[in-house]
């Protein structure tokens, strides 16, 4: 067969395949009728064969490039990951994410230790001797903090300050959590740094405010959103440590291979942490600063802690058996 005859004979098939490709690229292959699906897969195999023929005979670059492009697009349409459905989001949040965390729980405990111990030490030291706080945080920040917790709380005044604070908490906290996660790839160093520094700052503020006698105001403020926020930061830290561990200790794989294997798990953990932080932002902006009595806040906050812990510990357990 000569090149000219080959072109003449095969061209109509290629054009038909191109039409199907355009359709597949606009909608998805799943929208095709049964006949179209079988036609698509038949033509796809034919075009693959044509490409091999053209290559084996060296029939020039233009036709090879053209067929290569057709096969690439066909391959893309044929082997794409199944499309995401809205149900996948709820399944992820209510079963896959907590299960994934439980199967990587060792990282969670390490992240928890990194996030608690420096803060606890800092808090105790500053609580005994508040002047140490100025070594960690600038004095203005401390006095600002103190002023904030000395004011009496009132319900929203209609200026939408809650909305502003939600936006700020989303922008700031989720950003920090994602950075804490991503820098785990630097052999875990970035994650450890973020966890320890944030822990120290939080511990220092706590110790300082307790020493200044604002403990009831402070704890009633942080207890509710803390359930989601502090846990989510530890989860993001666990995700970063998972990434870091897979590069430090790749096991039987190469470091890159190991990163690729654990990478998807780690980003799913980070996604879950992001979702928890979004919930925390809403609570922190609307509930925590509201004028409700401290006793009420402690009650609700404790319930939220129980909720978060049992969510992470139990959600999705039944799904494993079904």
Partner 1 sequence: MPAPAPVDTLARIETPENVWLTFRLAGLPSRMLAYTLDLSFRAIFLVAMSVVISILSPFLSFSGLSAGVFLVLMFLLEWGYGTIFEAFWGGKTPGKHILKLRVVKTGGCAISFYDSMLRNLLRAVDVLPFFYGVGLVSVLLTRRMQRLGDLVAGTIVVREKRPRLHEARAWLRDVAPLPRPALLSGYRVPERTLALIDSFARRRSEMHSARADEVASILATPLGERLGPVGLEDQHLREPSEFLLRVLKTYTETPAVQPSQPVASPSTDGEVSGRGSW
Window 91 to 130, contacts with partner 1 (CB under 8 A): none
Nearer to partner 1, 223 or 276 (CB): 276
Nearer to partner 1, 12 or 131 (CB): 12
Nearest approach in angstroms of CB 72 to partner 1 is 5
Which of 181, 208, 221, 311: binder of partner 1 (CB under 8 A)? 181
Nearest approach in angstroms of CB 271 to partner 1 is 6
Query: How many angstroms separate the CA atoms of 137 and 204, rounded?
Result: 8
Q: Which two tokens stand for residue 140?
A: 């203005």
DSSP 199-256: HHHHHHHHHHHHHTT-HHHHHHHHHHHHHHHHHHHHHHHHHHHHHHHHHH--TTS-HH
What distance lies between CA 321 and its chain's CA centroid?
A: 26
DSSP 172-183: IIIHHHHHHHHG
Cα angle 281, 284, 286 (rounded to 5 degrees) comes to 100
Q: Which residues contact 26 (CB under 8 A, 6 or more apart)?
A: none
Q: How far apart are the first and last CA of the chain?
A: 58
User: Rule CB under 8 A: is residue 229 a binding residue for partner 1?
Assistant: no
User: Rule CB under 8 A: is residue 167 a binding residue for partner 1?
Assistant: yes
Which of 179, 187, 210, 298: binder of partner 1 (CB under 8 A)? 179
Number of amino acids touching partner 1 (CB under 8 A): 68
User: Rule CB under 8 A: is residue 183 a binding residue for partner 1?
Assistant: yes
Nearest approach in angstroms of CB 112 to partner 1 is 22
Nearer to partner 1, 100 or 300 (CB): 100
Query: How many angstroms separate the CA atoms of 179 and 193, rounded?
Result: 11
Window 243 to 262, contacts with partner 1 (CB under 8 A): 243, 256, 259-260
Q: Which stretch binds partner 1 (CB under 8 A): 97-105, 122-130, 166-174, 215-223?
A: 166-174
Window 53 to 72, contacts with partner 1 (CB under 8 A): 55, 57-63, 65-66, 68-69, 71-72
Which of 44, 97, 108, 194: binder of partner 1 (CB under 8 A)? 44
Instruction: Categorise residue 188: left if φ over 0, alpha if ψ from -120 to 50, beta otherwise.
Output: left
Nearest approach in angstroms of CB 291 to partner 1 is 17
Torsion, CA 239, CA 278, CA 162, CA 297, rounded to 10: -80
User: Rule CB under 8 A: is residue 166 a binding residue for partner 1?
Assistant: yes
Q: Which two tokens stand for residue 248?
A: 């430090």
Nearer to partner 1, 46 or 216 (CB): 46
Query: How many angstroms separate the CA atoms of 309 and 176, rounded?
Result: 22
Which of 86, 264, 291, 320: binder of partner 1 (CB under 8 A)? 264
Which of 29, 48, 93, 125: binder of partner 1 (CB under 8 A)? 48
Q: Say if CB 11 and CB 68 are below 8 A apart.
A: no
User: Rule CB under 8 A: is residue 148 a binding residue for partner 1?
Assistant: no
Sign of CA dihedral 287, 291, 294, 296: negative
Which chain residues interact with partner 1 by CB under 8 A?
2-4, 7, 11, 14, 25, 44-45, 48-49, 51-52, 55, 57-63, 65-66, 68-69, 71-72, 75-76, 79-81, 84, 158-168, 170-171, 174-175, 178-179, 181-183, 185-186, 190, 243, 256, 259-260, 263-264, 266-268, 270-271, 285
């Amino acid at each position: 067969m000569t090149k000219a005859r080959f072109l003449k004979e095969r061209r109509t098939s290629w054009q038909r395949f191109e039409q199907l490709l355009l359709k597949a690229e606009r909608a998805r292959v799943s929208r095709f009728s049964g006949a179209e699906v079988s036609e698509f897969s038949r033509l796809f195999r034919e075009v693959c064969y044509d490409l091999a023929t053209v290559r084996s005979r060296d029939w020039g670059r233009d036709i090879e490039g053209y067929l290569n492009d057709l096969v690439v697009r066909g391959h893309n349409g044929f082997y794409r990951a199944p499309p995401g459905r809205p149900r996948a989001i709820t399944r992820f949040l209510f079963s896959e994410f907590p299960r994934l965390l439980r199967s990587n729980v060792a990282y969670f405990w390490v992240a928890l230790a990194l996030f608690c111990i420096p803060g606890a030490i800092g808090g105790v030291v500053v609580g005994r001797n508040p002047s140490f706080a100025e070594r960690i945080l600038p004095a203005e920040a401390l006095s600002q903090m103190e002023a904030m917790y000395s004011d009496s709380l009132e319900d929203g005044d209609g200026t939408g300050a809650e909305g502003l604070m939600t936006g700020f908490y989303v922008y700031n906290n989720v950003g920090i959590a994602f950075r804490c996660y991503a820098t785990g790839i630097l052999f875990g160093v970035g994650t450890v740094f973020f966890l320890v520094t944030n822990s120290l700052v939080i511990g220092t503020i706590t110790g300082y405010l307790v020493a200044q006698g604002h403990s009831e105001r402070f704890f009633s403020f942080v207890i509710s959103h803390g359930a989601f926020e502090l846990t989510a930061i530890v989860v993001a830290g666990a995700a970063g440590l998972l990434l870091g561990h897979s590069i430090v200790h790749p096991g039987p794989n190469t470091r890159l291979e190991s990163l690729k294997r654990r990478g998807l798990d780690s980003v799913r953990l980070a996604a879950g942490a992001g979702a928890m932080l979004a919930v925390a932002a809403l609570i922190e902006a609307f509930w925590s600063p509201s004028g409700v009595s401290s006793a009420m806040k402690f009650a609700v906050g404790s319930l939220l802690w129980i909720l978060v812990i049992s969510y992470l510990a139990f959600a999705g357990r039944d799904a494993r058996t079904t």
